Every structure is written in C-alpha cells, then in structure tokens.
Amino acid sequence: MELIKQKEYKEMMLKYEFAKKKLETDLEILLQEYAFKVGYNPVEHIKSRIKSLDRIIEKLNRKEKEINVDNITRYVSDVVGMRIVCSFIKDVYTIADIIRSTGEFILKSEKNYIDEPKSSGYRSYHMIVLVPIHLENRTEYIQVEIQIRTVAMDCWASLDHKLRYRFPGKLSKDLENEIVESANDMLEIDKKMQHISDVLNKVKE
C-alpha cells in the first residue's frame, strides 16, 4: 500500500464498489424483464467481485507499469469483474445483446472467445463496459469487465484454473493438448444441448 497513496486508493475503490452495485442492480432488472417477456430465464447464476490489491499490483507488474491509481484505472480493465453463467450458447449472445442495447452502459470493447478461443482452449464472451456512477456533483464512468459463458465453459475454466494453480510450472505439450481437447469436448456438449433445446422449442411452438 505504501506504493499507492492510501486516500486516493480508498477513494478509487469506493467508486469501483459503487460501479459493482449499480451493474448488479441494473443487470438484474434487465434480465428479469427479459425473463418476464419471453417466459424463460437464460441465467444459471451471476457472480461479481472486486480484484484484490495484490492481484492489481501483479497485473501492473506484468504490464511493466508504475504502480499508482492512474495506471490502475488506465491499464487494469477488470478491477470490477462480473461472470454471467447461462444455460446454452445462444443465451450467451442474447445476454450480450441485452447489455449492448441498453442505454445505461457504454460498450468500450468486446471479445468473442467462443468463436475464436484462446490457445489454451478457453472460451467465453468478454465485454468491457463503462458504468456511470452518479456522485454528489458529477457523473463518472467506471470500467468493468463482464464475462458471459455457458455452464460447460464455466466448468472447464474452473477446472483448468485449479490444475494450473496446483502445478504453476509449465505443462508439457501433451498435457496442454489434452486440456485443449477437453475444452473442445465441452464445446461439443454445448452444441448437442443447444440442438436439443432448439428441437424442444420447435415442438413447444
């Protein structure tokens, strides 16, 4: 903490806390409204968090940036993070459309790691949005990261994280390939479940 002015850091983190609360509330309203209109809730669960100072400093060090409040707001896009886990692949894009179409947030960037997964096999849909927080005499926009993924993608990401955390050294090429294959297996499950869902929806109609 000595590297960052304590008062400035506390003020910054308070703003991130406000942004987290507003994002949670606004998204809950939007998703409940959608579920009411279509009679179907695409969300399995939602989890949000604020990154710890240690993790923030670790990220700035990786980016070779000086550790200060300005660089945190500029270079750490996921101080506030939200993960939305949904049932099917189509739900991922539905939720992304809901977030994109609301006038409450400003979309800064988005990355589709479902169609173009990372080399590790990781799949998810990432959005960086600016959330307005209304203070006493001004409005500020706080950057947050939203990750949207299916249950299968979330399961794989969780297991992959645990494996890499337990064995922090570099994995062999064979093990890396097995991890990627397991991610592809999860995708096939997602596709099959999406197909079954589409068939049942047509029968229902």
Query: What is the chain's length?
Result: 205
Instruction: Please tell me the total count of domains within the chain.
Output: 1
Looking at every residue in the chain, the average pLDDT score rounds to: 92
CATH number where 61 lies: 3.30.460.10
- Domain-located, residue 199: no
For residue range 154-195, list pLDDT tens digits in order: 999 999 988 887 777 778 889 899 999 999 999 999 999 999
Please compute the mean of the pLDDT values over residues 69-78 and round it to a whole number. 92
Closest CA to 130 of 166, 90, 100, 170: 100
Print burial letters for 142-180: b (CB count within 10 Å at least 16), e (below 16): bbbbbbbbbbbbbebbeebeeeeeeeeeeeeeeeeeebb
- Domain-located, residue 197: no
Residue 87 belongs to domain spanning: 6-156
In which band, very low, low, confident or very high, does the pLDDT at 1 lie, cut at 50, 70 and 90? very low
pTM of structure: 0.91
